[in-house]
Structure 1
Amino acid sequence: MHIAKFSVKNPVLVNLVLVSVLVLGTISLIDLPRDLTPNINFHWLIVVTTYSGVNPEEIEKLITIPLEDAINNVDNIKMVTSSSTEGVSQISVQFENMSDEKYDKLFQDLKSEVEKIDNLPEDIEGPEYVELTTDFMLPMIFVIISGTLPEREMKEIAEDLQRDILDIKHIARAELGGVRERQVRVEVDPERLSSYGLALNQVVNSIAMKNLNIPGGTMNVGRSEYILRTIGEVDRIEELSNVIIRQSVSGGRVAVKDVAAVLDTLEDAQTLGRLNGKTAITLIIS
């Protein structure tokens, strides 16, 4: 009530104070620094090491795992993921929420731990440290699938998730990383091949002829038209093993299984993903 009475008795002074506040507020607003996309540090960094010409398995063994072991000695790390591709090791390190000052100290601790490693190859380039800020960010979401399931089962889960995500409106891409496609290998035994008097190209040609899918034109029946195809594609490993390479007049046969082992496996890894030391598949969404 005292403020109200004072305001009624001194209207000129109150109006002057009000105008002063408005003027000072306007000046402060004009001078206030602002940015449409301010640079924000997410306390997240990537450790990149290059070792040219080395396959993913060796990159993981020689570089990625030793670096991960050293990085895990640093406090307040929320998550560590890694990717080992041909010639390149990338380790993503995400810290817990904290002040910038504490993050800077832990960043230096991480560098110190990495510098203690004495068994990295001498001719590598790096490690280099890339801090993730809004300057580097693209409209992307990274989904990481990790666990102790067999690789084929994890791949099936990742592919199902990929299909579901691509059905969502406004999703342009959903790419998988760290997955290996199915590969059927025919490992020929040179000694057994020679004992049958066969050459390697005979095995290759026999398999190629059996694994054909040839258009056969069309056939018209009344008003209907049917597309004809000669399908000889092999669906099962057993079928491939039983492909005949040579058959004699007397009825003797030599099949693929007689000179080779047919393996249902996965292709050689181009990228190896890990999350906290476990195998991982990455789904990149944009």
Structure 2
Amino acid sequence: MNIGAFSTKNPVLVNIVTLLILSVGFLSVVRLPQEQFAEVPFFFINITVPYPGVSAQDIESTVTARVESTMQGLDKLSAVRSLTNDGVTNIQLEFDQGITRPEFDRVFQEVQNRYSALSLPDGVASAGISEFSSNDFLPVIEVVLHGNLPYVELNSIAQRLADTFEGVPQVSDVQMVGSRDPVIYIESDQERLETLGISINQIVQAVRVRSTTTPGGSLVMPDRSLLLRTSGEIAGPQDFNGVILRSGDPGQAIRISDVASIREGFDSEGLAARYNGRPAITLRITKVPGGSSVGIIEDIQAKVLAYQQSGVPEGLEIDFFNDSTVQIKDSISVLVSNAIVGLVLLVAILLVFVGVRNALMTALGIPVTFAATFFLLEAFGETLNSNTLFGLVLVLGLIVDHAIVIVENSFRLQQEGLDRHAAAIKGLNQVVIPVWAATATTVAAFLPLTFLPGVIGRFLRVVPLTVSIALIVSTFEATLFLPSHFADWPGKMRETRFARWFM
């Protein structure tokens, strides 16, 4: 097939496709999620299983061991780790570094299916099954609530806002930093203890027995089997008063209320945060894989503004901290300005050596190439980040090389007496194989870098991917579209004075 002849004979089709690529590329730029750095998947799966009111030892035997056993044999599973505390267990599944994204997605679905089919004791709450990536320790923004308010009120407001933020699309988790756990204090009367002959250890033992859920074995029936357990009797602070410490004759039982007072409070050993010298609670917000940091932050700021307009307690202030959009916009601004400067210098050099008409035809390939590259990056699930823009700046000078070769060769043939159409066709046909060979060798140098192993390889893979896509697209543009532009664009072809001087 004569590519040059096809291009010059179908100028309308070429122009329509050019406009279509520019339009689709613009939409892709608008839709692409924006973030400061490329997201790095670590290929870990976290399974968090709450089991309220049950000791760590009981959870270990009734939940953790079963989940670990069920997950054995998963494809490319390299390690299983677990951490069990009172009331909750966390199991982490680590997979081989060589696992691909499609393979990991299939394994993630299998983990969900296996857990759904697992038989666990009654009382086990819904599990959280999530992928661990760089998003989990790089929050998109932190919202700081601070002021001279009672801690109970500050904590309550922070909890309500956290619940609101968790409903924002693409938000993965909201972590409250500086929020201390609620506790119940049992303050004993030493004189009463001595009078009644009750020790502190007796109080501790009685509370432990009454608040612990104890497994009671299993009941096997012909058609099914049931797990038995004894639930703790304490549901709230008021229930501590009735805990019996020692019983004797009817009506003479000694209860906690006889020797101690009960009050609610917060853990004094928890993390205490301050902001500008005042008590504070920070809400750290992370996003789901592929989420747009800019979109999430705009939604979060809108939620905060709506809350402030509804009226906030006197003395409470809400500030934003570690706003990633600031870094994102700064990084994008620097790279875009560098790209614009490079583009201007590139066009200026083309004007000097190949003339206005040839320079404009050659430079047209830059926005077309970038538009198609953005479209393909969106199709591949990439985001608009510093690495992506760095790849585009890196390839900026390379994507016009082939166009310069084709235009200059066609211009030479026109000077030798051929008309524009014939010069465009012959000029392309003479160099099309070397042009594609040059692209292939450059792509062959960059593309293997996308397969670098480990976290660093996954972090940097978008740079060679962007460069390779842009080079291939620019070569298609130069061989399919440029001959049509050369043949039909108005204006006279003149050799510049600088070009004659160099020749």
Normalised by the length of structure 1, the TM-score is: 0.44
Whichever structure has more strand as a proportion of its residues is 1
Higher helix share: 2
TM-score by length of 2: 0.27
